Chain A
Amino acid sequence: MNPYDLPGIDIAWCPGCGNFSILKTVKDTLAGLDIPQNQVVYVSGIGQAAKIPQYVNASYFNGLHGRALPVATAIKMSNPGLTVIAEGGDGDMYGEGGNHFIHTIRRNPDIAHFVHNNMVYGLTKGQASPTTPVGMKTPVQINGVTNEPFNPIAVALALDAPFIARAYSADIAQLKDILRQAILFKGYALVDILHPCVTFNKLNTYQWYKENTYYLDSSHDPSDRQKAFGIAVAGGKLALGVIYRHEGKPTLTDNLHVYRETRDPLYLRKPDRKKLGEIIRSKSE
C-alpha cells in the first residue's frame, strides 16, 4: 500500500474527473521519492482541485481561495527542510490568486506548484475560468467568453520561472515523470496540468485533449528561453512536457540572511536576549 493513501475516504469529485488520475499520480510520485513523509506539506486554496490534500496522507494547510502561494512560500521560508507543494485549480491559482502567482515566481521559493487546469470553474458550477477558451458559453458568459485566455506558461516565462512544464492528466507515465522533476527541482516549479471537467466543460474533453496536444521531443532544449516563448505562444496544438528549465537560480531561502549560517528552521531559533539588550541600550546614545 502507498503510505500516502488514505483508506475509506469520501471523495467529492465527479466520476470520470481528471482530478482522480492526478491524485493517484501525485501520491505515487511522492511514494517513489526519498522524502520523509512527515516533511511533506501540501498547501491549497479552495476549489475542486484544491480539495486534493484532503485525500493525501500528509500534513496540509487548506487555506483560502487564491491564497495557497503566499502560505506555501511562508512555510518554506520558515522551515526550508520541508517539501512544500502548492496545488489547486486554474481559477484559484490564476484568477483569485493571480497577483500571488506573479510575485511568487519573482521570489523563487523552492516549492512545487501544481495547477489543475480544466479551463472552467467546477465548485461554483460552470462559470468561465481565466483559461476558458474564447467563445465557450457558460451560465454567466451566456454569449460566449470574450476575454483573452490567461497563458500561464507565457506569464511564467516572462518572469523567468526556473521550471515550467505542462502535463496532461490522462497520460500517467509522463505526468509522473514531470511531477517528479518538479518536486526535485531546486526552485519554483510550475506544472500546468491539463485535465477535462466532465461536468461543466463540454468543449475540452478527453477527445479534445488527445487531438490538441503533443509532447516535446528530445530535440527541445529547455534551457532556451526564447524557444520556450515560441512554444508558449504558438497557436494550434498545446505542447506537453518540460518547456523551460533555468538551472542554478538562487532560491528565496538561499537569499535570506537568516539562513546564512544555519539552515535551522525558525521554530528552533530563540530570541537573542543579549543582542536585544544591546540594541535597547544603544538607543540611549
Chain B
Amino acid sequence: MPGINVDNEISIVLSGEAGQGIQTVEIILTHILKNSGFHVFATKEYMSRVRGGSNSTEIRVSSARVDSYTDRIDLLVALDPDITRLSGRIGKDTLVVGDASKIGKGYNIVDTVFEKLAEPLGSAVYSNIIAVGALLALFGIGTTPLEEYIRKRFGAKSEDILDKNFQAAKIGNTLGTKWRGEGTVGIGFSPRDGLADEILVSGAEAVGLGALAGGCNFVSSYPMSPGSSVLHVLASLSNDFPLIVEQAEDEIAAINMGIGAWYAGARAMVTTSGGGFALMSEGVSLAGMVESPMVIHIGQRPGPATGLPTRTEQGDLDLAMFAGHGDFARAIYAPGSLADAYSLAALAFDTADKYQIPVFILTDQYFLDSYYNIKPFDPKTGMTEPYLEKTDEDYKRYRLTPGGISPRGIPGYGDGFVRADSDEHDEEGRITESAEVRRKMVEKRHARLGPLSENAIPPELIGPSGYETLIVGWGSTRNIVRETLEKLARPKLAFAHFKQVCPLPPSALDILERAKKLILVENNAAGQFGALLRRNHGIEFDHKILQSDGFPFSPENLAVRLEEIIGKGGGK
C-alpha cells in the first residue's frame, strides 16, 4: 500500500466537477482544522461553467503560518477520477485517493470510491462529508467537531438529513483512522493553541470588510467575475450596516451612480473586473474633473476581452493607471496580503475623500479566492471623519486654495449651493472657456499630486536589508514571492513589494537604486509595473520573470526561474 509522511505541512488538493461539492469540503475542513489548532491556506481554480468541468481546491495544512499557493500536491482527493489536468503537479510522492479503476495507471493510488461508501446512506451527495471525515481523522480529529459544524451550518435541514451527514462523518472517520493507523498518511505535526480566535477570510471578504471599515455605505456594480465576489460580500452584510447595494444596468451606470452618491454625501465604491472597468473609463475622468472621491475595486482576470473569465492575471495595471481622458490625479493600491486588503480598502475611502480623486484597489482572481487564518482585523481601522463642509451662502465648490483642494460641500447640508460640472468650470462650478481660469483649475487639480506622492505607502522590504539583488513585485504575488525567498534562503536576495503602485513615494526609488541587480516579477505578459518604473523613474530591470497563463506563480516555478538568473544554491 502506498503512503506518505509529512513533517511540517501537507498540501491537500480536492478535485471534482462543478456541483460535486468540493467547496463544501473546503469550507468545513479549513474551519475545523483552524479551530483545532492548525494553520490553513486554501485557494481554488475553476472552469467558467456552473456544472461539470474540472475544478480543484488546494488546502495547505501546516504547523507554521501558510499563506501562499504551492504547486506541490501531497494528497490528491479525486472526487472525479479525471485528474489528467493536474498531472503536471502530481509527483512521485503524491498520494492519490480515488477510484483506481477509473483513474488509470502511473499514480500512487489508495483505491477509494467515495460514492460507493455513500451507498448505504442512499445518495452520492454524502460522498463529500465522508471525505471530510476521513481527512479530519488524518489529523486525529474525531467526528464531534464535524457534527457540531454540520449542525451549525446545516441546522435548518431535516433531522434525517443531519443524521445521514453524521453517519457519513463516521464512515469517513473510520476510513481516515485506518489510513492513519496503517501509516498510509502520516502527519508528523501537532495542533497548537491560540488559533481558535483567528479568523478565516478570503481576499474578497478582506476587501469588503475593509471597505466597511472605511465607511463605505454605497456600492453600485454590474456583476463580473471575479470582481463581483466583493459585491456578494457587501450585499450579504447590507441588512446589518447602513449600506446600499445596487446592481446597475451596466458598468457605466455603476460608476456614475457611485459619483452621484459621493456628491450627495455617501461613501461609494464600485467593484468590477478589467472588462467591466473598461466601460467605466469616462466615469474615472468625470471624477477627475468634478473632483469627486471614488473608490474602484478591480478584480483582475486575464484579458484581452472576455479572456479567461475564472483565471488570474495582473494585466490591468496599465488600464487602471491610464483609464480616463485628460490629466488628473489618482492613487492605486495593490494589496499583497489579507491584512493589506483590509487596511488598504479602508484607506482607499480616506484617500479618495481627502484628495477628492479616484482611488483604485487592484486585486485578482487568485487573491480574491484565496484565504488563510490571520489575527482578527481591527474594527477601528479607517476611523476618520468624512471631509465634509457645511456650506454657507457664499460657498464655492471649487474655491482656489493653496493645496488645490477645496472644502467639499454636499447639497442640503448648509445654505450654499453645490455645483459640480464636467465642463471646465470656475470656482463656483459654472462653465467657463477662460484660458486663465483653465490654467488655474489645471494647476489646482495637479497641486495634490505632491502630497499624494509624499504620503504614498512605501514598498515593503522582505528579506535581508543588505541585499544586492532585489525582486520587485506588487499586489497578489507578495506571499508567493516571500515563500520562494524563504525557500531559496540567499543572504543577498530581497523582495520589494509595492502595495501602492501609483503614485510612488520618493523613498521607493532609494530602495530600488540600492540594488545591484533588479528582477521584475509580474503575473502578466508585458511587465506593466516595470514599464511604469522605467517610464516615470528611469528604472531599468536586469531580468523579468513574467507569467500570463491564467495561473498564479508558485514558489516552485518561481524558484526555478530565479535560479536561472542568480544561479543554484549558496552564494548571493
Contacts and interface: CB of A to CB of B under 8 A. Distances in A.
A70 B248 contact: yes
A279 B256 contact: no
B417 A57 contact: yes
B253 A103 contact: yes
Contact of B205 (A69, A102, A283): A283
Contact of B258 (A53, A74, A276, A281): A74
A46 B289 CA distance: 14
B213 A271 contact: yes
A81 interface: yes
B109 interface: no
B264 A75 contact: yes
B388 A283 contact: no
Interface in B226-258: 237-244, 246, 248-250, 252-254, 256-258
B512 interface: no
B345 to A, nearest CB: 12
B290 A63 contact: yes
A82 B264 contact: yes
Given A71-B256, A284-B198, A267 B421 contact: no
Contacts of B259: 63, 71, 74
A61 interface: yes
Given A71-B263, A279-B237, A39 B412 contact: yes
Given A71-B257, A266-B261, A271-B215, A64 B241 contact: no
B412 A77 contact: no
Contacts of A57: 417
A78 interface: yes
Interface string A62-91: 111001011111111111011000000000
Interface in B185-230: 196-201, 205, 209, 212-215, 217-218, 220
B380 interface: yes
Classify the interface of chain A: helix, strand, loop or mixed. Answer: helix
A280 interface: yes
Nearest to A46: B422
A79 B411 contact: yes
B376 A280 contact: yes
B422 A62 contact: yes
A63 B430 contact: no
Contacts of B244: 77-78, 256, 258, 266
A259 to B, nearest CB: 9
Interface string A219-257: 000000000000000000000000000000000000011
B419 interface: yes
Interface string A81-111: 1100000000000000001101100000000
Interface of B: 31, 35, 152, 196-201, 205, 209, 212-215, 217-218, 220, 237-244, 246, 248-250, 252-254, 256-261, 263-268, 282-283, 286, 290, 376-377, 379-380, 382-383, 386, 388, 391, 410-423, 429-431
Interface of A: 38-39, 41, 43, 46, 51, 53-54, 57-64, 67, 69-79, 81-82, 99-100, 102-103, 256-258, 265-267, 269-277, 279-281, 283-285
15 contacts: A62-B421, A67-B286, A69-B253, A71-B256, A74-B259, A75-B411, A79-B412, A102-B249, A266-B218, A269-B242, A272-B240, A272-B242, A273-B379, A284-B35, A285-B35
